[in-house]
Amino acid sequence: MAVGWHRPTKLVIDTQAIKDNVYSEVKRMPQGTELFAVVKANGYGHGAIQTAKAAIKGGATGFCVAILDEAIELREAGITEPILILSVVDVSYIDLLLKYDLSVTVATQEWLEQAIEQLNHIERQTPLKIHIKVDTGMGRIGFTTPSAVKQIVELVQSTKSLFWEGVFTHFATADEKDTNYFEKQAQRFKEVLAVLFELPKYVHVSNSATALWHPDNVGNMIRFGIAMYGLNPSGQALPEVYPLKPALSLVSQLIQVKELSTGEGIGYGNTYTTTKNEWVGTVPIGYADGWLRHLQGFSVLVNGKECEIIGRICMDQCMIRLPEKMTVGTKVTLIGHDHGANITMQMVADQLETIHYEVACTFSERMPREYK
């Protein structure tokens, strides 16, 4: 997809905010704990490489991604810190894991046995770094019993071509007030650790929510994701432990302003009709950019004033009702601060009846990211 450098719509990413959010968490961590910044999905839509560089300045010592290609992107951008791929990678790509010095998640014994077979045919002697995933109640990937984990550890330790670097789990409800299920998962993970004769370099259970609201859990590494971008992992369910600084703003400009008389329709389907003479502004952003149709009725900011989105949002444009005649080229703030007013990613998520994670990841590559 072509990047729209030659139109006024853009995402503005405050890398200082990312650095500050990481540093705020690093200051709270117990001695001997490391922070791995989670930059999967293009840094949750913020841009993986620039986010990673800002995270390093804040004190991050490693990174987590979801897929092999994301890890390779970081390496080819000059990132030398440890990188863990959190999902399953096909064993046929083990040569790339070794080439780029990547750590990979092991979730089944079958995968590991196939990996060992692959490694037997690779001349390079550097061992493959692995993290064993324990499924304590997420129901996604990983081993489900202490005995299964113990068996896999024994297999790894008997194989010179493998290096057991980590063991981890992921909590499903760390961002909720009710802690019963969280405590059930935590206990299951402790039962796994109890059957192991030794532990690897990294034991990690803490995503952003766990780090913020359950800091006393076992582990010596934090996978810091959504909070790094200044967004509360719980949405609005739990208060922030310390002020998080949102890193992303979304801005554009008015490209046309017109006065329409009473009874004129706006947009596809004629879902909005003017009830009096109204000033209407057109903004060059639409659902192809991730500014979705369900945002009809939501408001953006122009000169600090709320302006409602009227009519259906188009693929490339949307229309807003202006309080008065305004000049073409006037700034429009869709997310961020403007003249003392503010639109948050959470507000957008509430309108869409989703979570801010999804909002951030939905913004398409057509919108350029500008870093400050």
Burial 294-333 (b: 16+ CB within 10 A, else e): ebbebbbbbbeeebebbbbbbebbbbbbbeeebeeeeebb
**What CA–CA distance (Å, rounded) separates 221 from 63?**
11
**What CA–CA distance (Å, rounded) separates 79 from 75?**
5
Residues of the chain where predicted confidence (pLDDT) is lower than 50: none
- Token representation of residue 65: 């991604």
Q: Which amino acid is at 161?
A: S
**What CA–CA distance (Å, rounded) separates 139 from 188?**
13
160 is catalytic: no
Residue 369 bridge partners (DSSP) = 11
Q: What pLDDT score was predicted for residue 319?
A: 98
Q: Which of 10, 19, 40, 133 is catalytic?
A: 40
Q: What pLDDT score was predicted for residue 278?
A: 97
Q: What pLDDT score was predicted for residue 144?
A: 96
268 is catalytic: yes
Whether the CB-CB separation of 205 and 176 falls below 8 Å is answered with no
Q: What pLDDT score was predicted for residue 218?
A: 82
> Which residues are part of a known binding site?
140, 315
In Å, how far are 67, 97, 129 from 119, measured between CA atoms?
20, 11, 12
| CA dihedral (343, 347, 351, 356) positive or negative | positive
3-state per-residue secondary structure call for 173-214: CCCCCCCHHHHHHHHHHHHHHHCCCCCCCEEECECHHHHHHC
> Which residues are part of a known binding site for substrate?
140, 315
Q: pTM of the full predicted structure?
A: 0.95
Q: Which of 99, 184, 258, 268 is catalytic?
A: 268
126-135: pLDDT as tens digits? 899 999 999 9
Domains of the chain: 15-229 (3.20.20.10), 248-343 (2.40.37.10)
Q: What pLDDT score was predicted for residue 170?
A: 97
